[in-house]
Amino acid sequence: MVDWPEPGTPVKIVVKTWSGEDSHEGLALPAAGPNLVTLKLVNGYNISFPESYILSIELLEEVQMVEEEVPEIIPQDESLPLVYLIHTGGTIASKVDYKTGAVTARFEPNELLDAVPELRSIARIRAVKLGNMWSDDIRPRHWNKMLESTAQAFAEGAVGVVITHGTDTLHYSAAAMSYGWAGQGGRPPGRIVLSGSQRSPDRGSSDAAENLIAAVHWAANGPEPSGYRDSSVVILHADSSDGKCAVLPGCATRKYHSSRRDAFKSINQDALAYVLVDRSGPSIEMCEAEVSDARVEAIAPKLFDENVRIAEFVAGAHLQPDLVQAAADAGYDAMYFHGTGLGHLPIENPENDSPENLKLRLTIEDYCNSGGIAVITTQTIHGPIHLDVYSKGRDQQEIGIIGHGSLCPPSSGLVKLHHLLSRDGGRETVSSGWLEDLCGENPDDSRH
């Protein structure tokens, strides 16, 4: 085993290679893998060799590393509107570090303006780094940090905010911004945009630059938010080709494709607008839609109770009553069921061969009778929850399951449930609030 020095120690190593002996100088690093030695070369690149390749190791007093150039400060036009860029993670505001091969956040205004110079003519950019997270690691506490950061940005004079976010759960955070700012009848002081990218910026097919240009343009120049459907918006590519980004309601949007650039669609309603990006610069094309009177500006967003816990279940052949009972025994604040079709659960036993179905029904009924909150949504994404069509749906209503009549998308519904529980946690609040159209998530079906 090679006696490798502490990380940061200046060293010179001699290694054997297929072309003969070679030497390298740099700083010792922690091993990149088992039975490897790893060195940061003087030019900043990392290199690793199997321990068996090492012929000698010499400790040095110092090595002269190549210093990274400090980028020149890029001046910004003070006459342009101020837009805050809040970075949570994802590839839209990132760069590939070819010294390490890692994708790192590019969240300094200087780096953004250098990478996407088109932003210089759209807005003044200030940037805040909340984190650099995989979007599937985001929790309600992070929604609150986003809400607080948007409030701070508006207090400091921003006309709009762009939250850069990984795409996998971007629609959950967009819904959280909508309910947080407009769920109680208000509207945010400025425009809130969530955007991400499906392709990393080092790929020729990357959508990062166009999505960012469109997002900043809407944040700087879009219509004032009314608080209905537009309290937060999602902006990403509308098509697989370049030149057009969709502006989607944050309360009713869903990621529907794992890899396409146009991965997001609005659910049970239309897009709000499109941002066209071409050589002449970005422009906004509004869609025809009803005009809602602007609500009163909210003083502050309603934060989510971070102690709330919701148990999620998917209806299907493996939904077992003991899973539901375990959640009830563990004291979860609510249960959220992704039902089949119009919102159904496996609670009947017509062939007398599936007693677990009847036990599931009794388990949910006992839970609701004891004051528990059970809400049903649909796995189909589009369409309403309609529990009056079949007898099973009517039975579910009788045992206390909430959800009939809702058009709220499944992901937005989970956030809405958490928002309602954060008000007072009562069953009556959830039951009545579920039928309300708090911020555009549950529109009249005749209009959409």
**pLDDT of 241-297, one tens digit each?**
788 999 999 999 999 888 787 888 999 999 999 999 998 899 999 997 656 688 999
Domain 82-286 has CATH 3.90.550.10: no
Note if 255 is an active site residue: yes
Catalytic residue among 38, 88, 91, 164: 91
Is it the case that residue 447 has pLDDT exceeding 60? no
**pLDDT tens digits for range 224-237:** 999 999 999 998 88
**Residue 182, pLDDT score:** 97
Of these residues, 40, 95, 255, 392, which one is catalytic? 255
Of 23-27, 134-138, 340-344, 425-429, which one has max mean pLDDT?
340-344
Task: Locate CATH 3.40.50.40 in the chain.
Answer: 310-435
Residues of the chain with CATH 2.30.30.520: 10-59
Half-sphere exposure of 225 (CA within 13 A, CB side): 34
61-70, 281-290, 349-358: which has the minimum mean pLDDT?
A: 61-70
Sign of CA dihedral 105, 107, 111, 113: positive
Where in the sequence of the chain do the CATH 3.40.50.1170 domains occur? 82-286
| Mean pLDDT for the stretch of residues 87-109 | 59
The one catalytic residue in 167, 169, 253, 363 is: 167
Q: What is the pLDDT of residues 174-215, one digit of tens each?
A: 999 999 999 999 999 999 999 988 766 555 557 778 899 999
So what's the architecture of 310-435 in CATH?
Answer: 3-Layer(aba) Sandwich (3.40)
Quick one: pLDDT at residue 116? 83
Is residue 167 flagged as an active site residue?
A: yes
Query: CA dist 110 to 91, 113, 375, Å?
Result: 17, 5, 47
The active-site residue out of 9, 12, 129, 168 is 168
Neighbours of 50 (CB within 10 A): 13
What pLDDT score was predicted for residue 71? Answer: 58
* CATH numeric code, 10-59: 2.30.30.520
